[in-house]
Amino acid sequence: MNSKEFARRRRQLMHMIGHGGIAILPAAPVRTRSRDIEYRFRQDSDFYYLSGFAEPDAVAVLIPGRDNGEYLLFCRERDANKELWDGSRAGPGGAISTFGADDAFPIDDIDDILPGIMESCKRVYYTMGVYPEFDSRIADWVNSLRARESSGVHTPQEFVALDHLLHDMRLYKSRAEISALRKSAKVAVNAHTQAMQMVRPGLYEYEVEAEFVREFRRNDAWVSYNPIVGAGANTCTLHYIENNACLEDGDLLLIDAGCELDYYASDITRTIPVSGRFSPEQRVVYDIVLEAQLAAIDKTVKDNHWNEPHDAAVKVITRGLKKIGLLDGTLSRLIRDGAYKEFFMHRTGHWLGMDVHDVGDYKVGDGWRLFETGMVTTVEPGIYIPASRKVPARWRNIGIRIEDDVAVTNSGPDVLSKGLVKDPDEVESLMQR
Ligand code: CA
């Protein structure tokens, strides 16, 4: 993402905040994995969205209309010895020259500098509750001003939820963001394609998972969530991540895996037959899920409301389950009573962006949000028939989900992950190769 894009976002947010406001955003904290080993650092999405700055121990501050600089960045100072161990730092100088800050300061000086800047502001825009330690620092700064109110020090009077503004901005993806999401999807599509070609009985789920990690890292990407690679009965466990069972002949394999490339996520699911050929029952259920997914994608268009793809998927799935005898009753009644939930127990999608389950409200007021150009969602209906369901044995342990990433455009749904086969005949022929 180029620096102009970050500058544009800051301008847009500052325009919404207006004079008298100050927005404060902390970087993500470094998190411990075990004992003294840390997780690989991943910047906070809101912070990165506005700054493009990937270092920990930083705070971004926006003060629209401030004469001495509207965009301030507090960050780690340069330190030759520490950089020798942990890699290079931008330092306040780099924050200005490379990251477009109007002014920058060492993070260790923030207690001395920031309260004085807050003093001149009426409204503080901040997202509470994400980083409790930083919440209490904000409270400390405000209290330090309040303590001096009797000597004429001004205290901001209003606290506003920053996420309310920022997450609405993030919901509408720019052209550059759609392109970043498309690249991320493409890497995941290639990984899925290669995995499909390697799958055969006798492999272990983790060997298939390894194929994804290899392809992601080869492209400078990381997994955007723990991949789900589940065969047989595991296809029916929605959040299965053990990924340690053997692939048996005759089973299905459900793979839900996506990557994060340059801070943008993909999220793709395919379900394939371990043997390379669907059994008749697997094929029948697969056809229902695919029809549901295509119907849902067709509904992912401008001015439709958020739930219309789900409604379309529910209709196709309920009708299909009734047709194969797993549900009994009239279609309208089965839908009204939610009978399908025994086999389709999740929603049909979620927003996708810098986060896999991206920000943005699904409802506005009492109603579902309408789709608008630039919104990106997953479309991922499924049918799951665990062995515990009272159904004829031949249907058991069939779990199928098909998921693509879809952008809403002026000319209809744009499937960002469209390079990946999902037609069952095409899946079979790809697996024969
Ligand atoms: Ca998903």
For 183-230, what is each residue's pLDDT tens digit? 999 999 999 999 999 999 999 999 999 999 999 999 999 999 999 999
Q: What is the pTM of this model?
A: 0.96
pLDDT of residue 253: 98
Same domain as 186, residue 85: no
Decide which of 170, 192, 213 is a domain's last residue.
Answer: 170
- Which residue matches tokens 């879809």? 406
Q: Check residue 152 and give its pLDDT.
A: 86
Supply the pLDDT for residue 151.
86
272 and 190, same structural domain? yes
- Considering the domain architecture, whether residues 350 and 250 belong to the same structural domain is answered as yes
> 84 and 17 share a domain?
yes
Cα–Cα separations (whole angstroms), residue 236 to 228, 251, 291, 308: 11, 12, 20, 25
Note the pLDDT tens digit of each residue in 284-318. 999 999 999 999 999 999 999 999 999 999 999 99
Q: What is the pLDDT of residues 365-397, one digit of tens each?
A: 999 999 999 999 999 999 999 999 999 999 999
Choosing from 15, 33, 35, 36, the catalytic residue is 36
DSSP 234: G
Residue 9 annotated among the catalytic residues of the structure: no
Q: What is the pLDDT of residue 293?
A: 98
SS3 state of residue 255: strand
Show Cβ contacts of residue 184 under 8 Å, excluding neighbours closer than 6 positions.
221, 224, 258, 259, 260, 261, 262, 264, 265, 266
Q: How far is the CA of 160 from the centre of ligand 1 (A)?
A: 31
Are residues 235 and 292 both part of a single domain? Answer: yes
Give residue 147 CA to ligand 1 midpoint distance, Å: 48
154 flagged as catalytic: no
Residue 415, domain CATH = 3.90.230.10
Same-domain check for residues 189 and 266: yes
In a shared domain, residues 245 and 376: yes
Which of 109, 137, 170 is the C-terminal boundary of a domain?
Answer: 170
CA of 357 to the centre of ligand 1 (A): 7
Residue 235 and residue 145 share a domain? no
pLDDT recorded at residue 154: 85
Catalytic residue list contains 357: yes
- Cα→Cα distances 13→25, 49, 296, 299, Å: 12, 11, 33, 31
CA of 132 to the centre of ligand 1 (A): 28
Going by the DSSP 8-state scheme, the letter that residue 122 receives in this structure is S
Burial class for 433, CB neighbours closer than 10 Å (0-12, 13-18, 19+): exposed
> Between 110-118 and 132-146, two packed helices, what is the crossing angle to 10 degrees?
60
Residues 399, 421, single domain; the answer is yes
- Residues whose CB is less than 8 angstroms from the CB of residue 210 and which lie 6 or more positions away in sequence, other chains included: none
Instruction: Report DSSP letters for 362-416, one per residue.
Output: SEETTEEPBP-TT-EEEE--EEEE-TTSSS-GGGTTEEEE-BEEEEEETTEEEET
- Same domain, residue pair 210 and 124: no
> Can 39 be counted among the known catalytic residues?
no
**Could you tell me if 100 and 225 lie in one domain?**
no
- Is residue 164 part of the annotated active site? The answer reads no
In the numeric block, the tokens 């509470």 are attached to 128
Write down the catalytic residue from 55, 177, 256, 428: 256
Question: What are the residue ranges in the chain where pLDDT is below 50?
Answer: none
Per-residue pLDDT at 433: 75
- Tell how far the Cα of 71 is from the centroid of ligand 1, in angstroms: 35
Q: Does an H or E element contain 264, and which?
A: strand 264-265
pLDDT given at position 65: 96
262 is catalytic: no
Q: How many domains does the chain have?
A: 2
Measure CA 326 to chain center: 34
Ligand 1 geometric centre to CA of 288 (Å): 19
**Crossing angle for the helix pair 3-17 and 162-171, nearest 10 degrees?**
130
Distance 268 CA to ligand 1 centre (A): 7
Structural domain harbouring 28 = 3-170
Domain at 35, CATH number: 3.40.350.10
pLDDT for res 380:
98
Catalytic residue among 78, 283, 319, 346: 346
Q: How far apart are CA 228 and CA 246, in angstroms?
A: 14
Give the CB-side neighbour count of residue 227, counting CA atoms within 13 A: 32
Q: How far is the CA of 424 from the centre of ligand 1 (A)?
A: 21
209 is catalytic: no
Single out the catalytic residue among 211, 380, 414, 428: 380
Which of 109, 138, 170 terminates a domain? The answer is: 170
Ligand 1 centroid, distance to 380 Cα (angstroms): 7
Neighbour-count burial of 298, counting CB atoms closer than 10 A to its CB (0-12 exposed, 13-18 middle, 19+ buried):
middle
Q: Which of 55, 260, 267, 308 is catalytic?
A: 267
Task: Verify that 162 and 285 share a domain, yes or no.
Answer: no
Compute the distance between CA of residue 178 and CA of residue 5 in angstroms, rounded to an integer: 13
Is-catalytic flag, 401? yes
The CA 350 to ligand 1 mean position distance, Å, reads 7
